Structure 1
Amino acid sequence: MTKTDPLERYSIREATEEDLPAILDIYNEQVLNSTALFLYDPIPLQDRQSWFSDSKQLGYPVIVAVEKSTEQTIAYCSLGVFRSKPAYCLSAEISLYIHKSHHRQGLGKVLLSEMIRIAQEMRLRSIIASVTADNAASLGLFGKHKFVLAGKFHDVGYKFGCFLDVEFHELILDAAPKVNAQGVPEYNPFPWGRYTYGGSAL
């Protein structure tokens, strides 16, 4: 049986302020019903507003998938700070969440592939995925995109009455590093306002 191309049903674009309520709903559903996020209580909209503002200011991408028939935002993927000290700046941590009603539609593959392409254009060196060890679907997705296990921490989380292990998976990119006159590495900021899916504006 031939699978339908997800891009026939969904479009991919950069996130906007108007997407934040939908992003919040996706995020909070995961907080309440999964071990993907190590929180117990839903977060307010102001949290996502601050996160979005910080992402734009720092030049990190946030992209969304929109269902064409309803114009509803139903998934998002982002890169963000892996560690705050400046020598880590060519590494970024990835987040990818899909509304529970749109799982198994191929969106994870589309969003992850596009974010890897964006990271290459930003001239990042590595993408880090932090995944709860019981999340087989996410581990499978990252594995198919050549992420490899870098390390595993045991019993570092506790949720739903269970201790949880966390795995860190990494993808090393081949983009040449960009270094300024002082020898400090820099990445190309995401082209907010000029991004098109699969295109280049850097």
Structure 2
Amino acid sequence: MSEVLVRDVTEADLEEVAAIYAYESAHAYSTFETEQRPAASWLPKLRTGDAFLVAEVDGVVRGFAYASPFRDRPAYHLTRETSVYVHRDARGSRLGTRLYAALLPRLRAQGLHTALALIALPNDGSVRLHENHGFELTGTMREVGDKHDRMIDVGIFQLML
């Protein structure tokens, strides 16, 4: 049985984080990025103080999750947007569940009020992950993304912390 460790990200993890995200940027709809981001581009997120976690399987980073400010206006200060990414070879391994089980209590402990997740639709696995953690679909933005020659809907999922 593999050993799974969920922990805070370190600068040493950023190459593996960037590699997971690069695949999603190039091949999937889970992010609307279309270009690879170098590992250094993740440094500012590491330094914000918002939760940023990795899931290690047998010492190798296989997933990550983080919270980010929803918008830059002051009245949104108690809201965070959450994101979870799991390496394509680790899907179905419940790493997303493990990451959220660590991330969401941190947001509550920080006194945050609302977590939002924006999910490109359709994406049954991500929807199921979020609903299993209490997120509810609160709206759908129609055809707001244009990636891989396809217009993509985005579901807005909300969890009251």
Sort the TM-score into its range (normalised by shorter chain).
Answer: over 0.9
Verify: 1:168 aligned to 2:148, yes or no.
no
- The match for 1:15 among 9, 12, 21 is 9
SS at match of 2:111: coil
* CA positional deviation for 1:49: 1.9
Verify: 1:48 aligned to 2:42, yes or no.
yes
Greater fraction strand: 2
Identify the residue that residue 64 of structure 1 maps to in structure 2. 54
Identify the residue that residue 128 of structure 2 maps to in structure 1. 140
| Cα distance in 2 between the residues matched to 1:91 and 1:44 | 27
Q: Which amino acid aligns with 1:22?
A: E
SS at match of 1:114: helix
Identify the residue that residue 27 of structure 1 maps to in structure 2. 21
* CA positional deviation for 1:46: 2.4
* CA positional deviation for 1:104: 0.8
Q: Say whether the 8 Å CA contact 2:14–2:40 is kept in structure 1.
A: no
Identify the residue that residue 123 of structure 1 maps to in structure 2. 111
Gaps of 5+ in 2: none
Identify the residue that residue 98 of structure 1 maps to in structure 2. 86
Q: With the length of structure 1 as denominator, give the TM-score of the two structures.
A: 0.76
Identify the residue that residue 108 of structure 1 maps to in structure 2. 96
Identify the residue that residue 74 of structure 1 maps to in structure 2. 62
SS at match of 1:19: helix
- The match for 2:33 among 7, 31, 39 is 39
